[in-house]
Structure formats: structure tokens, C-alpha cells
């Protein structure tokens, strides 16, 4: 074992030295118990170490503000790469229930139908790399992904764009989500929303003065 006493714990130098390394704290963020097939699902700490080695330092900017700031830039790259023209949209209301809605980042009209859409995520570097390496829409965005298809019967493809210019080697990544691949989930979530709103309506009527 080598002991380094060049800096105090908690100092800027100490924080910088720890970046990209596995400490006792980080170990808990990367270790996951293998399943019965011996496969471990990578945790976010794994991608944070990669981010520390590849990305620029976090500048403290609010993630929501950053997402809004970078959205147009990410969309321009999408249009350049795909040749598709996007349109901004406010809120899409489902045809079967006005209380079931979706707020798309961009819509794409092809042959008179909004058959494609774009959802843009400008995440932290670790989460960006997770999406790139696993090539999957993170589970936390599952319901948002499905809601696009629930509210737009014409939608066939959702382009889920991840953008982080701090990762200079792979700042942009797009995952195509096809309606046909998640048809069962779309129907499941749709029925759940309808039943939930029915239950809420009954309770509101019962509790209203």
C-alpha cells in the first residue's frame, strides 16, 4: 500500500485525484450482484468513472436549464444527420381522452402525417454514456417514451436523441424506437391510464362538496 499525504481530504486536489478511480464510496455505485445467469447490470457509477476519464468537469449548471439551452443545437445535428425537417410542438392531446397528453420536443411530418417525433435528452455525462454504450433508452424514461405513441396514433418512430458536447468523442447518439417493437406496452399503458382516470373521476365526484 502506498500512502499519499500531499493533500487533505475534501480539498480540491483530493477531489481531483479521486476522479476516474474506484474508492470505497464508488464501489457501492458500481457493484451489482450477478443474476442467476451470472450477468451483472452495470450501475451508474461504472459510467461515472468513464465520464471522469472522457468528459469535461461538471460546471454546476442546472440540468433543466442546460437541457433547454442545448435542445436546439441537438435538434440541428439530428436534422443534419437524417435530412428530416422537424417542427416544434406544444402539447399533443390524445384523440380518445383529452386528459391524456404528451409534450413532444419535435414532430416530423411525412406524407401529411406526423409519423415521427424527436425526444432530446441532455443528461449528465455518466448517464449520457450509459445510453450510448447500452444503446437503450434508460428505464426512467420508459413511460415518457410510450406516451408519445399513446397520444399520437400516427407515430411510427420516436427518435430518442442524447446529446452532451462535453463527451467530444461521442457527443450525439440517437436511438430509434419503433411502434411495432413496443405495441404491447403501448396498449398496456393506455388501458392503465384510462382506468386510472375513471377511478379518479369517481373519487373526485365522491369527495367534492
Judge whether 174 lies within some domain. yes
pLDDT at 68: 74
Say how far apart CA 134 and CA 138 lie, in whole Å: 9
Q: What CATH number has the domain bearing residue 158? A: 3.90.320.10
Judge whether 37 lies within some domain. no
Residue pLDDT, tens place only, 72-89? 999 999 999 999 999 998
Say how far apart CA 206 and CA 76 lie, in whole Å: 50
Is the per-residue pLDDT at 10 higher than 80? no
Say how far apart CA 4 and CA 147 lie, in whole Å: 52
Query: By the 8 A CB rule, do 137 and 120 touch?
Result: no
Neighbour-count burial for 73-95, b at 16+ CB within 10 Å, e otherwise: ebbebbeeeeeeebeeeeebebe
Residue pLDDT, tens place only, 122-174? 988 888 988 998 999 988 899 999 999 999 999 999 999 999 998 888 999 99
Judge whether 76 lies within some domain. yes
Judge whether 145 lies within some domain. yes
**Number of structural domains in the chain:** 1
User: Which residue segment(s) compose the domain that 166 sits in?
Assistant: 60-207
Amino acid at each position: 500500500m502506498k500512502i499519499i499525504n500531499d493533500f487533505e481530504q475534501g480539498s480540491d486536489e483530493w477531489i481531483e485525484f479521486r476522479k476516474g478511480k474506484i474508492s470505497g464510496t464508488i464501489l457501492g455505485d458500481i457493484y451489482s450482484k450477478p443474476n442467476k445467469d451470472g450477468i451483472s447490470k452495470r450501475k451508474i457509477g461504472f459510467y461515472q468513472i468513464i465520464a471522469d476519464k472522457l468528459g469535461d468537469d461538471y460546471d454546476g449548471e442546472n440540468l433543466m436549464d442546460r437541457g433547454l439551452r442545448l435542445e436546439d443545437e441537438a435538434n440541428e445535428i439530428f436534422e443534419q444527420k437524417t435530412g428530416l425537417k422537424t417542427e416544434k410542438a406544444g402539447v399533443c392531446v390524445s384523440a380518445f381522452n383529452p386528459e391524456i397528453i404528451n409534450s413532444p420536443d419535435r414532430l416530423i411530418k411525412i406524407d401529411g402525417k406526423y409519423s415521427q417525433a424527436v425526444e432530446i435528452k441532455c443528461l449528465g455525462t455518466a448517464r449520457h454514456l450509459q445510453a450510448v454504450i447500452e444503446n437503450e433508452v434508460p428505464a426512467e424514461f420508459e413511460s415518457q417514451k410510450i406516451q408519445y405513441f399513446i397520444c399520437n396514433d400516427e407515430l411510427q418512430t420516436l427518435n430518442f436523441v442524447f446529446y452532451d458536447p462535453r463527451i467530444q468523442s461521442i457527443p450525439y447518439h440517437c436511438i430509434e424506437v419503433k411502434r411495432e417493437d413496443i405495441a404491447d406496452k403501448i396498449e398496456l399503458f393506455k388501458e392503465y391510464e384510462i382506468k386510472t382516470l375513471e377511478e379518479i373521476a369517481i373519487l373526485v365526484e365522491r369527495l367534492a362538496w
